[in-house]
């Protein structure tokens, strides 16, 4: 299909990916009948289509690539077989060979800058009945909420 043409795997990429896929061992059917197996390349095209577009597996039925249930089943099998983990390792190795990896500058799950829409801090806010009561007691003693000593006499102004 024309809409899925740009999502097909190139020949160069396929030659790198094909050895990573597990070898399929056909199971004997008791009656000698079974469906013809789809080509792994077609199934991988469909899996990458889902991963790149974010569409649902069921949507593959309308693309003409392969059935969504077939692609999802193969995806689960290949994840268990470690195909995508090996693919990730090879991609990282290729990147390291071409550009180089330097992990010294990386931070894990962190932020190195302020939140762009963070705004000013509000300060402590009462969250429960006990805290409101304690703040009211402080206000009665003249050391409490904004608005001066004793403002509100037990309540926030």
What is the pTM (predicted TM-score) of this model?
0.57
- Name the token pair of 133: 């009561």
Q: Could you give the angle at the alpha carbon of 105 between the alpha carbons of 99 and 109, nearest 5°?
A: 115
The pLDDT, as a whole number, for residue 157 is 46
Per-residue pLDDT of the chain (157 residues; tens, 9 = 90+): 445 667 788 888 888 888 888 887 767 767 766 667 788 999 999 999 998 889 999 999 998 889 999 999 999 999 999 999 998 898 889 889 998 887 777 666 666 666 666 666 666 665 666 666 666 777 677 655 555 554 455 555 4
The pLDDT, as a whole number, for residue 85 is 92
Contacts for 139 with CB less than 8 Å, ≥ 6 apart: 145, 150, 151, 152, 153, 154, 155
Rounded Cα distance, 150 and 137, in Å: 9
The pLDDT, as a whole number, for residue 100 is 85
Rounded Cα distance, 2 and 8, in Å: 11
């Amino acid at each position: 299909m024309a809409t899925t043409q740009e999502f097909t795997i190139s020949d160069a990429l396929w030659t790198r990916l094909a050895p990573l896929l597990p070898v399929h061992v056909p199971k004997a059917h008791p009656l000698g009948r079974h469906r013809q197996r789809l080509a792994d390349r077609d199934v991988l095209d469909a899996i990458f289509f889902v991963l790149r577009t974010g569409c649902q597996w069921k949507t593959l039925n309308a693309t003409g690539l392969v059935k969504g249930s077939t692609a999802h089943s193969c995806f689960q099998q290949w994840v268990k077989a470690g195909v995508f983990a090996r693919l990730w390792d090879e991609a990282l190795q290729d990147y390291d060979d071409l550009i180089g990896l330097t992990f010294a500058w990386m931070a894990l799950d962190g932020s190195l800058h302020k939140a762009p829409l963070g705004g000013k801090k509000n300060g402590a806010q009462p969250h429960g009945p006990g805290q409101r009561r304690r703040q009211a007691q402080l206000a009665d003693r003249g050391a409490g909420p904004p608005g001066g000593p004793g403002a509100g006499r037990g309540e926030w102004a």
